[in-house]
Amino acid sequence: MEILSHYIVVIVTGICLGIGYIIKHSLDKIPNKYIPLIMGVLGVVLNSWLNGFVFTPEILFGGLASGLASTGAFGVVKNLKKEV
């Protein structure tokens, strides 16, 4: 788990979190099961864009980890709100 923390890009995670929230609550035509896939792809594109459209394995892994971390962060916040 510690190795993932080296690749997560906070800016990409935040952007993916916001867009994922919009997709989940505004676009009813997109099933929830596709949101992690969309966030993974979006994370790779955003991470590549932030690095000047250079594509390396580190950028790929960082984008995937950041996009998928945003879906995990949404789930954590949702569960914490339920418990309160």
Asked if 20 and 70 count as a contact pair (C-beta separation under 8 A), the reply is: yes
Q: pLDDT by residue (tens digit) across 29-59?
A: 999 999 999 999 999 999 999 999 999 999 9
Q: What pTM was computed for the model?
A: 0.85
Q: What distance in Å separates the CA atoms of residue 68 and residue 38, rounded to the nearest whole number?
A: 9
Asked if 20 and 74 count as a contact pair (C-beta separation under 8 A), the reply is: yes
Quick one: pLDDT band at residue 16, thresholds 50, 70, 90? very high
